[in-house]
Structure 1
Amino acid sequence: MAHSPGVTTVTTEQSDILALARAQVLENGEGLSEAQVLEVLRLPDSVLEELLSLAHEVRMRWCGPEVEVEGIISLKTGGCPEDCHFCSQSGLFDSPVRAAWLDVPMLVEAAKQTAKTGATEFCIVAAVRGPDERLMAQVAAGIAAIKDELDINIACSLGMLTPEQAEALAAMGVHRYNHNLETARSHFAQVVSTHTWEERWETLRLVREAGMEVCCGGIVGMGESLAQRAEFAGQLAALGPDEVPLNFLNPRPGTPFGELEPMSGPDALRAVAAFRLALPRAILRFAGGREITLGDLGARRGLLGGVNAVIVGNYLTTLGRPAEADIDLLGELAMPLKALNDTL
């Protein structure tokens, strides 16, 4: 059969992976394997809409229509001793970010502003290898002050933990702890050299043992191959996190990854759908880099392609969409905000 110039032909194998995913993931709730995720990541643009539609069906079937909204605040910014190559908060790079601390009243005000958007999660983040005594004390004071003022789930992202620190955070009432694996184990050494993938995994084990929910994702578009992107999805599926924040590299000046090109919109959307098909029941959260990679239209397509949570407002060192824009978009899509009592 003749084909028109420029038209991509969908092979039988490519049709097969979509049919398999429909039966395995949508009907049975069983996530795709690493090899199957790789097949999805290799699908051509001509079937992208079909792929996104399937991922949305999976999200609706296994997670429901609600969207969890979260705001984040940096308690301690910059001056980090680690060399994560994507991060302008590293003190080892010549980036414009300088070290700064917030006080407790600033944390409380940020939590109040986050709650006004309808968010149920407020995440306190610090740019550190792991929390020291001063940081733990400040987090404890901040959490107590927030809980005195309003009703919102509090999450933390404070780097690598000891068993005692994990227990202490759980006792403070931390609902969920974020510690990203960032990328596939086989690619990790090209992203970070000052600590190991295994050290991060150990912190995640401690978080779960302490009784907190596990939030773990990473960044796509950091020079990994498609096979490594699939590997990463498989490793997250093996971990079984409650939440997976999916970031897209936003190259930061002065960092080793500052000259990398942002990934294309279609590649980013394929990643969104593939991670949903690997993790059918997880909270899959749109996080950093979605604005530069996908724009407004892409945000809509992602929410109709497997995503069921968003970070609203700004990120740690980069600007996000106005919170009102995301909330309005969810209203247009008839996606209700998850209520606080549904997250406890």
Structure 2
Amino acid sequence: MTAMREDVLAAARAQVLESGEGLGEQQVLDVLRLPDSELDALLELAHEVRMRWCGPEVEVEGIISLKTGGCPEDCHFCSQSGLFESPVRSAWLDIPMLVEAAKQTAKTGATEFCIVAAVRGPNERLMAQVAAGIRAIKDEVDINVACSLGMLTGEQAVRLAEMGVHRYNHNLETARSYFPHVVTTHTWEERWDTLGYVREAGMEVCCGGIVGMGETLEQRAEFAAQLALLDPHEVPLNFLNPRPGTPFGHLELMPGADALRTVAAYRLAMPRTVLRFAGGRELTLGDLGARRGLLGGINAVIVGNYLTTLGRPAETDIDLLGELKMPLKALNETL
């Protein structure tokens, strides 16, 4: 059995580290099945892969909710759905507050500021608000602007690109086979179509999801393979933070070792992708886990708070990166 485990890592080393070819679905599953005794070796390999194919720089991003709550979709993990009895209420952010949030994000050293709205897709009011917000931000802040506004039409994607949106986030959330257990008000395929429009419009594609929502290891591996096929510029990796009032509110936190194995496995599946620590890492991994993740394949982080949950103080992450001697990616390197 030990020899078989060593074979999994040896094969991954030859294929990914030396040749730059990502692992396939079955290979990712083999990695996800490695025991805790092999976790340190796995994380070390994933870090070597990240350093070779991505370099030492870490991309830092902040996010802000332009429209919070009241979403008509039933994503079972999300407290912003208007269909669940959760404490999040609908609210809009005004333009001055948006600009101030962008300024504070830029002060941390972040190069990316993402405007998020809890909607199925943007209507004309939201598109106008985003356009005004982007103009105001670009007048005062030197930072890339990304958006996450739900599902788009091809025409909306073009308009956002013309507004100066650098990157568009739209997560597939989970494996195609598990998606109907997570969302019933729209399909996985509708999300996939939006990502096609984003790429065609010339924006960078940001697409990831949430692990620890009750999916099997096989589905976790399936999801990695589907993301690798999409070939996004960035993959934000979230860990379920069960929210009261949602259908997934009763689920337990994902074990930290499983979360770290997932980080490493996804790095080995996508050796050149920006793999970003996102929501849930604070509870699932804690401070030590954050350090191990950054030394196990992660090369980007969201700093500060998330949409409806608290994150780590931005200074804590920036200090940790300095301690690990991981330089922040400069703005001109992300353009």
> TM bucket by the smaller chain?
over 0.9
Q: Match for 1:45: what amino acid?
A: D
Q: 2:152 and 2:332 mapped to 1: Cα distance?
A: 28
Q: 2:183 and 2:4 mapped to 1: Cα distance?
A: 36
From 251, 268, 271, give the equivalent of 1:277.
Answer: 268
Match in the other structure for 2:30: 39
Q: 1:156 and 1:301 mapped to 2: Cα distance?
A: 29
Match in the other structure for 1:121: 112
Match in the other structure for 2:169: 178
Q: 1:150 and 1:99 mapped to 2: Cα distance?
A: 27
From 71, 79, 92, give the equivalent of 2:62.
Answer: 71
* DSSP-derived class of the 1:318 partner: coil
* DSSP-derived class of the 1:136 partner: helix
Q: 1:299 and 1:290 mapped to 2: Cα distance?
A: 7
Match in the other structure for 2:103: 112
Match in the other structure for 1:316: 307
Post-superposition offset of 1:12: 2.0
From 249, 260, 266, give the equivalent of 2:251.
Answer: 260
Matches within 5 A, 1:266-305: 266-305=257-296
Match in the other structure for 2:184: 193
Say yes or no: does 1:336 pair with 2:334: no
Say yes or no: does 1:133 pair with 2:124: yes
Q: 1:185 and 1:212 mapped to 2: Cα distance?
A: 24
Q: 1:11 and 1:154 mapped to 2: Cα distance?
A: 48
Match in the other structure for 1:24: 15
From 202, 215, 232, give the equivalent of 1:211.
Answer: 202
Q: Match for 1:295: what amino acid?
A: G
* DSSP-derived class of the 1:79 partner: coil
Post-superposition offset of 1:234: 0.2
Match in the other structure for 1:222: 213
RMSD between aligned residues: 0.4
Q: Match for 2:142: what amino acid?
A: D
Post-superposition offset of 1:75: 0.1
Say yes or no: does 1:52 pair with 2:40: no
From 132, 136, 143, give the equivalent of 2:134.
Answer: 143
Post-superposition offset of 1:11: 2.5
Q: 1:314 and 1:189 mapped to 2: Cα distance?
A: 29
Identity percentage of aligned residues? 84
Give TM-score scaled by structure 1 length. 0.97
Q: 1:264 and 1:150 mapped to 2: Cα distance?
A: 39
Post-superposition offset of 1:194: 0.2
Match in the other structure for 1:84: 75
